[in-house]
Amino acid sequence: MGNPVAVVLDREGLDTQQMLDFTAWTNLSEATFIGPPTHPDADYHVRIFCPGRELPFAGHPTLGSCHAWLAAGGTPQGDVIVQECGAGLVPIRRDGDRLAFAAPPLQRSGPLSEDELDATLRLLSITRDDIVDHSWCDNGPGWRGVLLRSAQAVLDLTPDPQLLNGMDVGVAGLYPEGSGIAVEIRTFFPGNQGLTEDPITGSFNASAAQWLIGAGILPDSYVAAQGTVIGRRGRIYVDRAGDDIWVGGHSVTVVQGEVLL
C-alpha cells in the first residue's frame, strides 16, 4: 500500500539512455541503479530516475535502494549507511525495523514569489484565503510548498492538470491535535500522462519538515500520511535529532529476480 521503486543492484554496462528506457518500461514512479561509490565515505552510489528524467535526490527511492542493497549483502563502513547520489552524501540510519535518511540541505527556501504563488494556486484550484503559508521546499526536486488550513482541505483538492506547467507542488494540512497522524501530504508533478500524484514523497516530506518544524508549526517528532486519495496508505516518520531531521518509513521486498538484456 506504499510507493514502489525498482532497484537495479548492478548498473555496470548501462548508459543513461538504457536507464531511462528501463525506468519507463517498469511503469513505476522511480527506478534506481546502484554502483560503486566515488567518495571514500560512501557505501554505494545510486542514480535515481523517474519517467523521462534523472533526479539528484528522492526520498522513497533512497530508502528502497538502501533496503535492497542491505538485503543483497551490502555491508556499511559504519553504524550509519552513507549513500552517494546527485545531491551528495546522504546518511541513512536503522530505526528499529525502519530506515530513515537525514534530510539534505535545502537548495532554496523562503516564500514563493507572487507570480509563483498565483500559478500554484491556479493549479490547485484554490484561493489565497485557503492557505496558511507557502515556501520553496527545494532539496533537489524544486518543490513549491503550500500549507492549507486542515488535512481535510488537502484531501478535498482537485488540481487542474491543464495548469501544471512543469511545476512540482507539495501540499500539507494539519490534523486536529491527538489524531495520531499529524499532517496529510499530497504532491503533484509532471508525468507521462500529464499530472501525476505521488503515493509517498520522501524529498517533499523532508523539506516540508525543515520548513514546518523550523516555523514551529509541527513538533520535532510526528507521523505524516500520504497517498490517501489514491488508495495508498503511506506513513512517513519524522524526527528531529539535534541539527538533523530524519525521515523514515518501512521498506519491503515484493519482487526480486534478474533482468536479461
- Beta partners for 44? 83
Cα–Cα dist 34/66, whole Å: 10
Architecture of domain 114-241: Roll (3.10)
Take residue 151 and report the three cell numbers written for it. 488535512
- pTM for the model stands at 0.90
Angle between helices 59-71 and 202-214 (to 10 degrees): 120
pLDDT at 132: 97
154-174 pLDDT, tens per residue? 999 999 988 888 899 999 999
- Does 66 or 53 have the greater pLDDT score? 66
pLDDT at 237 over 70: yes
* Range(s) of the chain covered by CATH 3.10.310.10: 6-103, 114-241
As a whole number, mean pLDDT of residues 13-24 equals: 96
Residue 235: pLDDT over 80:
yes
CB 148 within 8 A of CB 132: yes
208: confidence class by pLDDT, cuts 50, 70, 90: very high
For domain 6-103, the CATH architecture is Roll (3.10)
pLDDT-based confidence at residue 196 (cuts at 50, 70, 90): confident
DSSP annotation of 15 reads: -
